[in-house]
Structure 1
Amino acid sequence: MTEHSASTRPAAVADTALARRTLGVPALVFLIIAASAPLTVLAGGATTSFAITAQSGVPVGYLLLGVILGLFAVGYGRMSTYVQNAGAFYAYVASGLGTRPGIGTAFLALMTYNAMQIGIYGVFGFTASSLIEGLFGVTIAWWICALAGWLLVAWLGVNRIDLSAKVLAVIVLLEFLVVIVVSLLSLSSAPEGVTAAPLLAQNWMNGSLGALLAFGMAAFMGFESGAIYSEEAKNPERSVARATYIAVGIIAVFYAASSWALAIGLGPSQIVAQAQEWGPDLVFVFLEGRLPALLVDLAAVLFLTSIMAALVAFHNAAARYFFSMGRARVLPGVLAHTGARSGAPVVGSLVQSGLGLGFILIFAIAGAGSELGPLFPVLTMFPWLTNAAGFGLVLLLCITSVAVLRYFNRDPEQHPLFVRTIAPLLAAIGLGIIAVLIMFNFEVMIDSSSSPALVFILPGVIVGSGVVGLLWAQYLRVRRPEIYEGVRQANIG
């Protein structure tokens, strides 16, 4: 796909377009980091990794993942110079590997982003319900709280993307502030002294590295989303790559540093036991007695808003994949319609919101009277869908690395060896290993003791979505050759 052909729209939907040139590098960085939700990662992701892996080497996992994803970002960022498309994975793979793999990747991406976004409603509903009960003594069902969050996300989704970016910027900055405060308090407490113990090899080179990488990958979910906004970015040839590099660096270093500080604050010898006892509440239990109650409550509120930020970020990503597929007429063209004033992918956004609403209601009905009680959504909806999505993202990244490798090596003299071959090859190998590690650890990741079949069903659904995409591409080639040829022509490198 050339720089010019990438943004060409089929005649059938030529009157549709996303809002142009509304996002600069800072806005892109906030949109990317919002999906990773800094406070959610520390309070939820890091503590879960400490608890389940039973190792204090969690910070090292974040650093190693940062290296692998940094290698991926080298080729991925350069591709944004040549290809600007709201369906980034689809466009990159179609350009590098061909039309059928591109359409298959689009279906895989749709399933991945929708699963991640919808699954987060489970933890949002539970957290909001618990927070309201703790602050006001009022008990509200988790699904009612989830529906309130759903309504806000749906409204933001059909408005201008720069509105979402501004809202997310405020939330993300406040999240960083809370995490920094937690880290400083941790280092000032340090019952066993400030030490490098969590980083020592015996705490991660002991058979637990696979689990650390598998669980740590969730912290980076959404780092790749800058390219999804390339059609709405200012100077996308440079801004998308810069935003991606900045986001990967911040995520890797900040999460490694904050999880190390938390381990120091509780004591490296105690962090695992404490995480196993308190889970996501550990951060707030740590803050009690060290900060005024009002500030602890404020941190808990920001934990909820950080989850909201992730919901908005993944909603935007899923809506833009629907838009891109509708514009290419791979899916119904109505999905390509955008708001006259907002430039937002209105129909794609509404479809994503409809899916979210449906799953919230399904899990609300399924959880009625469950022996899991209020924990039902965080032990089912959240881990089932988000861990399946994490597996899907790793597959997407691995396939895209191969596509980048092939795309740049068609014209090798135009690209440095490291960019065209070394970085994407190492990234593909590393991501392939992580995909295998996730499969080996999937039973633990979703706690499948009550539903062992889910270990095979959930990854099967993710892989199956890509297979359906390949079959649909073949159908278009045979039955709707004008659509297939249009996609092919638009993605000729």
Structure 2
Amino acid sequence: MSEIYTDKLSQQLDAPARPQEVQRLRKNAVGLMGVLFMTVATAAPITAMLGNVPIAIGSGNGQYAPAGYLVATLILALFAIGYAQMAKYITATGAFYGFIAHGLGRVVGMAAGIAVTLTYIVFEAALVGIFAFFCVDLLASVSGLQAPWVLFALAMLAANGILSYFDISLTAKVLGICLVLEILMLALMAGAVLWHGGGPQGLAPESINPLKAFTPAQGVIGANAGIGLFFAFWSWVGFESSAMYGEESRNPKKIIPLATLLAVIGIGVFYVFVSWMAIAGSGPSEAIRLAQDPAQAAEVFYGPTRLYLGEWAVSLFKLLVVTGSFACGMAFHNCASRYLYALGRENLFDCLGRSVGRTHPRHGSPHVASTVQSLIATAIVLAFLAAGKDPYADLYALLAILGTMGILIVQALCAFAVVCYFHLGTRHVAQRHWFKTFLAPLLGGLGMLYVVYLLFANLSFAAGSAAQSLLFKLIPWIVAASFALGAAIALYFRHFDRRKYHIIGSIVMDDERQEP
């Protein structure tokens, strides 16, 4: 491992001491397809479609929900272009943490590092909740039996911990299988609708007109196009995880930028097509009617599937929703573990360097960080159980909102960090590009801030029945506190231990290509 210092302040100070020898993750463990599987699995296509599209249709932009996904694709593609450029020059497990520290400085970098670690920690717990909810529903529909949701939750937590203990390639294979199956299911449904020429109103091509993305659902009192746009963006949460696998991938300077762009554009095109065909299959008017009733919302997808493929396909759809949420939760477990490891290996606090900053001597996995993440997620799940909370309405909804708020702010900071990294100072003049390193990330960052605004404007709606809970009221404060804690840690070291301060966010992977 090496330490690379790119900001102006580090050049003005004495060379900082290196941390103690860093235990590395396993190099060359995964290729392009492995990184893609883990990245797209984190976005959870089948869960995103089934969970978010009906809300966008019923309470947001109605039949123009696919247009909202198209707008989101364009904005996120702009962000991804700058993100991919950064990944060509910095390879670090703590992707956002390292990128922001290099672009905006160590204080902002540490603030983002603590915040993004919190978001991935709670994302796993959130996905455990929705996985357990889907399992209970599937078991009841198949056998009529009822089982405590916590049994499924604990089983998933155990599986995540065991799989993450071993070589990352094992996780990539499991996620790959789950991902391929859920994408095939969605593609099968959408393809069947297209083959039959759509539903009673045909293919409804106006649904993908991007100019209509800001039009509220017709005939729905209180419909707000902003809700549709927010839930469209929410469907991408996790795509940014590609960069954190750089140290474990083959030829990361090429693989990570390519995987990022393929994930964003590929997911985007797929989301637009699938949501469009779901609406066309039922007919825009019927889709809006179904989507307004939570008990029938899933019929936006199940209806066309049943009509064009048969009841067997609906049963398979329900099973793959379970496996898809499991794959998503496991991917978030990997993300949280690697951020804990990235923070720990810098050895800013001795206890972290000796624990979560270690890797397995054989598998090269962040096994201690993975175990710690499992314990934290288990504690969160048990706390919700003890409080008598619902796995979907409370555990999933509240923690997903908390995590989404944090990740969107960090994404915006990262976009602006790209601009600063390449365009402030004189170190990267040759790598500057008016579009790739300036306009695209700048517009992407502004787009992220717009989505943050949409989240705050529709916070109560997104929380649903959980909007009256204490945790809901504390969400903005928890996110703010995580940023403040990170900034306070960095400021402490800047004033009391300059040598450790210089280590913040600076451990990146050595390779043949030198930092420009």
TM interval, short-chain normalised: over 0.9
Q: 1:79 aligns with which of 75, 83, 86?
A: 86
Alignment of structure 1 residues 376-395 onto 2, 5 Å: 376-395=390-409
Taking a change above 3 Å as real, the CA distance of residues 163 and 194 of structure 1, as seen in their structure-2 partners, is same
C-alpha displacement of 1:327? 0.8
Q: In the alignment, does 2:501 pair up with 1:484?
A: yes
Q: In structure 1, how many angstroms separate the alpha carbons of the residues matched to 2:158 and 2:471? A: 30
C-alpha displacement of 1:14? 1.9
* Residue in structure 2 matched with residue 284 of structure 1 by the alignment: 302
Q: 2:237 aligns with which of 209, 217, 221?
A: 221
C-alpha displacement of 1:405? 0.5
Q: 1:400 aligns with which of 410, 414, 421?
A: 414
Alignment of structure 1 residues 265-280 onto 2, 5 Å: 265-277=281-293, 278-280=296-298
C-alpha displacement of 1:97? 1.1
Q: Which amino acid aligns with 1:254?
A: F
Contact between 1:94 and 1:100, CA under 8 Å: does it hold in 2?
yes
C-alpha displacement of 1:481? 3.3
Q: In the alignment, does 2:192 pair up with 1:168?
A: no
Q: In the alignment, does 2:55 pair up with 1:55?
A: no
* Residue in structure 1 matched with residue 512 of structure 2 by the alignment: none
Q: In the alignment, does 2:374 pair up with 1:353?
A: yes
Larger deviation, residues 131-140 vs 343-352: 131-140
Q: 2:247 aligns with which of 221, 228, 231?
A: 231
Q: 1:116 aligns with which of 108, 120, 123?
A: 123
Alignment of structure 1 residues 123-162 onto 2, 5 Å: 123-162=130-169
Taking a change above 3 Å as real, the CA distance of residues 449 and 408 of structure 1, as seen in their structure-2 partners, is same
Q: In structure 2, how many angstroms separate the alpha carbons of the residues matched to 1:274 and 1:185? A: 20
Contact between 2:56 and 2:229, CA under 8 Å: does it hold in 1?
no
Larger deviation, residues 459-468 vs 253-262: 459-468
Q: In structure 2, how many angstroms separate the alpha carbons of the residues matched to 1:117 and 1:396? A: 18
Q: 1:35 aligns with which of 15, 33, 42?
A: 42
C-alpha displacement of 1:199? 2.8
Q: 1:308 aligns with which of 326, 331, 335?
A: 326
* Residue in structure 2 matched with residue 320 of structure 1 by the alignment: 338
Larger deviation, residues 358-367 vs 393-402: 358-367
C-alpha displacement of 1:449? 6.6
* Residue in structure 2 matched with residue 191 of structure 1 by the alignment: 200
Q: 1:421 aligns with which of 420, 431, 438?
A: 438
Q: In structure 2, how many angstroms separate the alpha carbons of the residues matched to 1:126 and 1:452? A: 20
Q: In structure 2, how many angstroms separate the alpha carbons of the residues matched to 1:389 and 1:445? A: 13
Taking a change above 3 Å as real, the CA distance of residues 55 and 385 of structure 1, as seen in their structure-2 partners, is same
* Residue in structure 2 matched with residue 330 of structure 1 by the alignment: 348
Taking a change above 3 Å as real, the CA distance of residues 488 and 356 of structure 1, as seen in their structure-2 partners, is closer
Secondary structure of 1:279 counterpart: coil
Larger deviation, residues 206-215 vs 163-172: 206-215
Q: In the alignment, does 2:475 pair up with 1:468?
A: no
Alignment of structure 1 residues 251-262 onto 2, 5 Å: 251-262=267-278
Taking a change above 3 Å as real, the CA distance of residues 174 and 449 of structure 1, as seen in their structure-2 partners, is closer
* Residue in structure 1 matched with residue 475 of structure 2 by the alignment: 458
The normalised TM-score by structure 1 is: 0.92
* Residue in structure 2 matched with residue 240 of structure 1 by the alignment: 256
Q: Which amino acid aligns with 1:324?
A: A
Taking a change above 3 Å as real, the CA distance of residues 304 and 13 of structure 1, as seen in their structure-2 partners, is farther
* Residue in structure 2 matched with residue 297 of structure 1 by the alignment: 315
Alignment of structure 1 residues 4-15 onto 2, 5 Å: 13-14=20-21
Q: In structure 1, how many angstroms separate the alpha carbons of the residues matched to 2:384 and 2:506? A: 43
Cα deviation code 1:127-166 (max 9, x no counterpart): 0111112222321111111111111111111111111111
Contact between 2:61 and 2:68, CA under 8 Å: does it hold in 1?
no
Q: In structure 1, how many angstroms separate the alpha carbons of the residues matched to 2:466 and 2:90? A: 45
Q: 1:101 aligns with which of 101, 108, 112?
A: 108
Please, what is the CA RMSD of the aligned residues? Answer: 2.4
C-alpha displacement of 1:3? 8.7
The normalised TM-score by structure 2 is: 0.88
Contact between 2:67 and 2:212, CA under 8 Å: does it hold in 1?
no
Contact between 1:399 and 1:428, CA under 8 Å: does it hold in 2?
yes
Q: Which amino acid aligns with 1:266?
A: S
Contact between 1:412 and 1:420, CA under 8 Å: does it hold in 2?
no
Q: In structure 1, how many angstroms separate the alpha carbons of the residues matched to 2:329 and 2:114? A: 20
Contact between 2:98 and 2:506, CA under 8 Å: does it hold in 1?
no
Contact between 1:217 and 1:390, CA under 8 Å: does it hold in 2?
no
Q: In the alignment, does 2:256 pair up with 1:249?
A: no
Q: In structure 1, how many angstroms separate the alpha carbons of the residues matched to 2:474 and 2:287? A: 33
Contact between 1:3 and 1:82, CA under 8 Å: does it hold in 2?
no
Secondary structure of 1:138 counterpart: coil
Identity %: 29
C-alpha displacement of 1:440? 0.4
Taking a change above 3 Å as real, the CA distance of residues 380 and 455 of structure 1, as seen in their structure-2 partners, is closer
Q: Which amino acid aligns with 1:237?
A: K
C-alpha displacement of 1:23? 1.4
Contact between 2:4 and 2:507, CA under 8 Å: does it hold in 1?
no
Q: In the alignment, does 2:384 pair up with 1:363?
A: yes
Taking a change above 3 Å as real, the CA distance of residues 268 and 285 of structure 1, as seen in their structure-2 partners, is closer
Contact between 2:25 and 2:248, CA under 8 Å: does it hold in 1?
yes
Taking a change above 3 Å as real, the CA distance of residues 335 and 462 of structure 1, as seen in their structure-2 partners, is same
* Residue in structure 1 matched with residue 511 of structure 2 by the alignment: none
Secondary structure of 2:502 counterpart: helix
Taking a change above 3 Å as real, the CA distance of residues 193 and 163 of structure 1, as seen in their structure-2 partners, is same
Q: In structure 2, how many angstroms separate the alpha carbons of the residues matched to 1:181 and 1:255? A: 14
Taking a change above 3 Å as real, the CA distance of residues 450 and 431 of structure 1, as seen in their structure-2 partners, is closer
Cα deviation code 1:319-358 (max 9, x no counterpart): 0000000011235111111111111101111111111111
Q: Which amino acid aligns with 1:79?
A: M
Secondary structure of 1:86 counterpart: coil
Structure ranking higher in helix proportion: 1
Q: Which amino acid aligns with 1:33?
A: V
Taking a change above 3 Å as real, the CA distance of residues 202 and 237 of structure 1, as seen in their structure-2 partners, is closer
**Any gaps of 5 or more consecutive residues in structure 2?**
7-15, 217-223, 509-514
Report the count of equivalent residues.
Answer: 484
